[in-house]
């Protein structure tokens, strides 16, 4: 959804009374719009009487906040040690090559965003990945490609 200043103001208003309102406000805005553009930083800073630097610091500190729109489906590849030991680095290289994007990038068609994850809790069946909400054990490129294809239907 494109950034809408009026809709954002309504969201901010419903959360600004909370203690430490910056995080709940930013989470709510990202949930609504899918990302936090520069306009969000300025609008939140003004509404919460914070500096833009303070809000920017929060947005850049937490890895879950996004500065750019994301793809319809997230492909997450585990980067924890167990998965790396079982080939996650090679799998990530294949994903980047086949999708034509790097980490945190989105394919040109807007379908897939590639993200590193630091543990999906599947260490015993590494390497692990997640496509949308689906966890994939002993992941390889054909399994990921099939899961991505199912998401596009």
| % residues pLDDT > 90 (the chain) | 85
Hey, where are the domains in the chain? Answer: 5-61, 73-152
Instruction: Give the pLDDT confidence of 50-100 residue by residue, as tens digits.
Output: 999 999 999 999 878 988 888 989 999 999 999 999 999 999 999 999 999
pTM score, whole prediction: 0.71
Provide CB contacts within 8 A for 138, sequence distance 6+. 125, 126, 127
Q: From 3.40.50.2300, 3.40.50.300, 3.20.20.80, 3.40.30.10, which CATH number describes the 73-152 domain?
A: 3.40.30.10
Q: The domain 5-61: what is its CATH number?
A: 1.10.10
Extract the tokens encoding 28: 């709510």
The answer to whether domain 5-61 and domain 73-152 are alike in fold is no
| % residues pLDDT > 70 (the chain) | 99
Cβ 50 vs Cβ 43: under 8 Å:
no
Rg (CA), the chain: 18
């Amino acid at each position: 959804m494109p950034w809408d200043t009026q809709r954002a103001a309504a969201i901010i208003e419903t959360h600004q009374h909370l203690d430490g309102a910056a995080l709940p406000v930013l989470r709510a805005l990202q949930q609504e719009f899918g990302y936090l553009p520069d306009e969000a930083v300025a609008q939140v800073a003004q509404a919460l009487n914070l500096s833009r630097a303070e809000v920017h610091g929060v947005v850049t500190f937490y890895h879950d906040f996004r500065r750019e729109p994301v793809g319809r489906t997230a492909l997450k590849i585990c980067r924890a040690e167990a998965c790396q030991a079982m080939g996650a680095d090679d799998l990530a290289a294949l994903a980047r090559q086949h999708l034509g994007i790097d980490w945190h990038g989105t394919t040109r068609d807007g379908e897939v965003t590639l993200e590193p994850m630091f543990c999906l809790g599947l260490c015993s069946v590494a390497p692990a990945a997640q496509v949308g909400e689906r966890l994939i054990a002993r992941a390889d490129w054909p399994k990921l490609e099939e899961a991505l294809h199912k998401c596009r239907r």
